[in-house]
């Protein structure tokens, strides 16, 4: 019998791993991006003390949350395999399996200790019921978000410690236990419960209901109403309630209610509708999505809300009055209410509906379904076969839905399109905004602009990101004036939105207007002083308008570790060299060199630095090698030409652009830089002939820093100062 049980358990574990294996290489989504992908804090263990100061990510989007244990696990993941998503999801899956094991042990003890004798079920039947409950818990798609979204590890960790503490407490009470334990094991279990409480606090705030659940188990699981058990366990209860008070006073997040979409009363009314949606998703999981269109309920007297409230109140009254006669019914119902209370009651949160909140409360649902199936299997052989087939079909159907959802997470656009298709209303703010973001980031500007404008027509409450992405799409499609109009509309509505101010500054800077960009960057930094990219582009704008001293002081105060992409890091290196901060640039390049061979981009910066310091020995040979490898890569050839220019090797630069013109004869950038190279090599007459021939073509070029510099020199040399003005 034991071998048979272990075989079934092993099959269930392998099947669960198979179901979730389709998501291992899916990219980071939603909250995973700021918390993991763009979070500088998890990249070094030196930042661990910040996690105990309610700091989550380096951009401070999740500040005020006390989750140090969760963040330390992310740091360990990053140290082991960097930003590869499979490792993070493997850890989530292991935690999910651990929670499943503890759920099996808890359900089995509750059924053995509290089930009425009138059910006439054997211990084997109860084991089957616990196995069914665990199977549903592990593969049902309503819990898949906890594995798929890495940031939901907070829920997995707190559930693990929560369930472990409950299991230890059931052993302390002797529920479902044939023999009594020794006093020493009893004391160690009490210590283990306190440790679980402390670790749970370091994982997520919903551990706050654990003392209430343990007190409920004490009162419901003892035949004398819990008097004897309370006399034995009152020190434990007292200590846990003291910990709750400390958590509430010092560690509870204070900014959660300020980010909520509804007040306390409206939030409570809305949850009476949302809770029944969760229960409906048990049978119809196709309604699940990454984001929902949940409207705020304003009045109690709407029919669905009134009926839902009456039904929930009736269940709560039943749980209170069934304590003596049907303790299992009371435990199941009160567990549901207590574990759901922190997120789905009168404490408003940033999301109105989130299936992840059912992870702990649904133990009641899975226990009930497992017990019902055990009662079905108790009868005739026909009922046993029918119940077994029903269970197998349900597990297979739920598993396939979870697999389908895992595959959907591989493509961000499909994921958010699915959310918007299922819930197209204005309340699905996250769905519309993230779909717009993904389309713009993937450079699908036409579709992104259509989605942004469709969302803006719905008059959503939070629209700042939509204005920003609509402006970015307009710029990329070649309509900068329309982009400026979108940003003006957005800033008129959200004058203190730092992302929109940053985008307005970037738009002005990339269009060749650094003076106009500076005020936008200054406003952004006054709202969020720790934005590294804003500080970088602010320094670049100051450098272009000639405020070198201010730009240098800003660059000296920056840390390259906060820049999370190659483009920003390269711009930072170039600005350091232009400001004369050679030592800092060399230190940064040496750091990259110690990690391994330099990437070609960083090697070019190294050669550029050598030229600026006057050390040109060997630079020309290495540049010639890189030029041969670049072939038809115009962007990389531009970077090589920049180093030639710094080394004053103008003939080599002319030869480079002349060679590029053979295969990119229609490229306006090639002809512009070729002409500029002629001017630098003192071939002014020839350069001005080229300038007059191609001037009209160059007017349509995007004015980045290199184009602006070349254009300005040619205008000044060939047309004079008056024409330039």
Q: 722 pLDDT exceeds 50?
A: no
Q: 13 pLDDT exceeds 90?
A: yes
Average pLDDT over residues 403-422: 92
Question: CB of 151 within 8 A of CB of 203?
Answer: no
Q: How far apart are CA 171 and CA 158, in angstroms?
A: 20
Q: 72 pLDDT exceeds 90?
A: yes
Nearest to 530 by CA among 86, 189, 173, 59: 59
Q: 366 pLDDT exceeds 60?
A: yes
Average pLDDT over residues 92-102: 96
| Cα R_g (the chain), whole angstroms | 32
Q: What burial letters (b/e) apply to 608-635, b meaning 16+ CB within 10 Å? A: bbbbbeeeeeebbeebeebbeebeeeee
Nearest to 649 by CA among 673, 617, 681, 676: 681
Distance of CA 322 to the CA centre of its chain: 43
Q: 146 pLDDT exceeds 60?
A: yes
Strand, coil or helix: what is 296?
coil
- The answer to which of 48-62, 402-416, 677-691 has the lowest mean pLDDT is 48-62
Mean predicted lDDT score pLDDT of the chain: 84
Q: State residue 664's pLDDT score.
A: 64
Nearest to 221 by CA among 328, 146, 139: 328
Distance of CA 380 to the CA centre of its chain: 51
Question: CB of 365 within 8 A of CB of 339?
Answer: no
The verdict on pTM exceeding 0.85 is no
Model pLDDT for residues 639-673, shown as the tens digit of each residue:
787 777 777 777 777 777 777 776 665 677 778 88
Q: 395 pLDDT exceeds 80?
A: yes
Q: 239 pLDDT exceeds 90?
A: yes
**Angle at which helices 619-630 and 650-663 cross, to 10°:** 10
Q: How far apart are CA 123 and CA 131, in angstroms?
A: 12
Q: 613 pLDDT exceeds 50?
A: yes
Q: Measure the N-to-C terminal CA separation of the chain; round to a whole number of Å.
A: 92
- The answer to which of 63-72, 550-559, 569-578, 645-654 has the lowest mean pLDDT is 645-654
Q: 462 pLDDT exceeds 70?
A: no
Q: What percent of the chain has a predicted confidence (pLDDT) above 90?
A: 29
Q: 198 pLDDT exceeds 80?
A: yes
- The answer to which of 85-89, 368-372, 435-439, 683-687 has the lowest mean pLDDT is 683-687
Structure tokens at 638: 């531009």
Model pLDDT for residues 479-533, shown as the tens digit of each residue:
777 888 888 888 888 888 888 888 888 888 777 788 888 999 999 888 887 788 8
Q: What percent of the chain has a predicted confidence (pLDDT) above 70?
A: 90
- pLDDT band for position 475 (cuts 50, 70, 90): confident
Show the 3-state SS of 328-359: HHHHHHHHHHHHHCCCCCCCCCCCCCCHHHHC
Q: State residue 63's pLDDT score.
A: 64
Q: State residue 90's pLDDT score.
A: 94
Q: 402 pLDDT exceeds 90?
A: yes
Q: State residue 724's pLDDT score.
A: 39
Nearest to 20 by CA among 138, 178, 192, 158: 138
Of the CA atoms within 13 Å of residue 123, those in its CB half-sphere come to 7
Q: What burial letters (b/e) apply to 538-563, b meaning 16+ CB within 10 Å? A: bbbbbbbeeeeeebbebbeebebebb
Question: CB of 619 within 8 A of CB of 646?
Answer: no
Q: 137 pLDDT exceeds 90?
A: yes
Question: CB of 138 within 8 A of CB of 363?
Answer: no
Average pLDDT over residues 292-307: 86
- pLDDT band for position 62 (cuts 50, 70, 90): low
Q: State residue 594's pLDDT score.
A: 60
Q: How far apart are CA 56 and CA 41, in angstroms?
A: 8
Q: State residue 77's pLDDT score.
A: 94
Question: CB of 398 within 8 A of CB of 136?
Answer: yes
- pLDDT band for position 254 (cuts 50, 70, 90): low
Q: 57 pLDDT exceeds 60?
A: yes
């Amino acid at each position: 019998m034991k071998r048979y049980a272990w075989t079934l358990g092993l099959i269930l574990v392998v099947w669960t791993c198979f179901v979730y294996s389709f998501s291992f290489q899916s990219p980071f989504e939603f909250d995973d991006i700021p918390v993991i992908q763009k979070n500088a804090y998890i990249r070094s263990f030196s930042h661990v003390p910040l996690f105990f100061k309610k700091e989550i990510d380096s951009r401070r989007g999740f500040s005020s949350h006390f989750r140090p244990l969760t963040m330390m696990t992310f740091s360990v993941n990053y140290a082991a395999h960097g930003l590869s998503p499979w490792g993070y999801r493997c850890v989530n899956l292991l935690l999910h399996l651990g929670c499943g094991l503890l759920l099996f042990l808890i359900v089995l003890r509750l059924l053995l200790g509290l089930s009425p004798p009138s059910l006439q079920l054997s211990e084997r039947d109860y084991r089957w019921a616990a196995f069914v409950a665990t199977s549903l818990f592990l593969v049902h798609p309503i819990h898949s978000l906890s594995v798929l979204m890495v940031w939901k590890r907070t829920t997995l960790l707190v559930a693990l410690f929560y369930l472990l503490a409950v299991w230890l407490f059931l052993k302390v009470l002797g529920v479902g236990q044939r023999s009594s334990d020794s006093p020493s094991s009893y004391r160690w279990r009490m210590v283990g419960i306190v440790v679980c409480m402390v670790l749970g606090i370091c994982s997520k705030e919903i551990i706050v209901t654990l003392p209430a659940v343990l007190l409920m188990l004490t009162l419901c699981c003892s035949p004398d109403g819990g008097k004897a058990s309370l006399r034995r366990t009152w020190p434990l209860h007292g200590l846990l309630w003291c910990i709750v008070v400390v958590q509430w006073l010092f560690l509870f997040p204070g900014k959660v209610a300020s980010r909520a979409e509804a007040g306390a009363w409206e939030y409570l009314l809305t949850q009476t509708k949302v809770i029944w949606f969760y229960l409906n998703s048990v049978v119809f999981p196709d309604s699940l999505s990454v984001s929902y269109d949940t409207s705020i309920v304003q009045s109690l007297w709407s029919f669905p809300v009134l009926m839902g409230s009456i039904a929930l109140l009736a269940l709560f009254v039943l749980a209170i009055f069934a304590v003596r006669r049907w303790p299992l019914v009371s435990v199941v119902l009160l567990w549901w209410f207590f574990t759901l209370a922190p997120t789905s009651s009168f404490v408003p949160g940033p999301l109105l509906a989130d299936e992840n909140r059912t992870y702990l409360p649904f133990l009641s649902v899975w226990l009930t379904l497992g017990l019902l199936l055990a009662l079905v299997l108790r009868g005739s052989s026909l009922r046993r076969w029918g119940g077994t087939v029903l269970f197998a079909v349900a597990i297979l159907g739920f598993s396939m839905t979870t697999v389908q959802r895992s595959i959907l997470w591989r493509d961000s656009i499909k994921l958010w399109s699915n959310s918007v298709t299922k819930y197209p209303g204005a309340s699905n703010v996250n769905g519309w905004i993230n779909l717009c973001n993904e389309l713009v980031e993937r450079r699908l500007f036409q579709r992104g602009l259509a989605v942004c404008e469709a969302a803006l027509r719905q008059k959503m409450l939070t629209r700042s990101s939509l204005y920003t992405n609509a402006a970015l799409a307009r710029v990329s499609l070649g309509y900068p004036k329309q982009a400026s109009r979108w940003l003006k509309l957005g800033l008129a509505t959200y004058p203190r939105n730092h992302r929109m101010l940053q985008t307005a500054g970037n738009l002005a800077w990339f269009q060749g207007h650094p003076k106009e960009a500076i005020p936008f960057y200054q406003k952004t930094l006054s709202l969020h002083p720790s934005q590294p990219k804003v500080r970088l582009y602010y320094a670049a704008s100051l450098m272009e308008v000639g405020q070198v001293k201010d730009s240098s002081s800003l660059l000296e105060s920056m840390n390259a570790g906060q820049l999370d992409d190659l483009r920003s890091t390269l711009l930072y290196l170039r600005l350091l060299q232009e400001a004369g901060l050679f030592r800092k640039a060399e230190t940064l390049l040496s750091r990259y060199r110690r990690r391994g061979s330099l990437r070609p981009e960083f090697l070019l910066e190294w050669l550029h630095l050598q030229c600026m310091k006057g050390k040109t020995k060997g630079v020309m040979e290495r540049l010639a090698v890189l030029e041969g490898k670049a072939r038809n890569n115009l962007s990389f050839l531009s970077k090589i030409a920049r180093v030639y220019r710094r080394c004053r090797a103008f003939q080599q630069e002319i030869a480079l652009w002349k060679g590029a013109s053979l295969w990119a004869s229609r490229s306006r950038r090639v002809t512009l830089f070729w002409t500029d190279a002629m001017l630098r090599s003192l071939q002014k007459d020839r350069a001005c002939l080229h300038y007059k021939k191609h001037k009209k073509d160059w007017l349509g070029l995007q004015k980045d820093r290199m184009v602006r510099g070349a254009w300005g020199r040619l205008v000044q040399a060939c047309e004079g100062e008056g024409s330039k003005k």
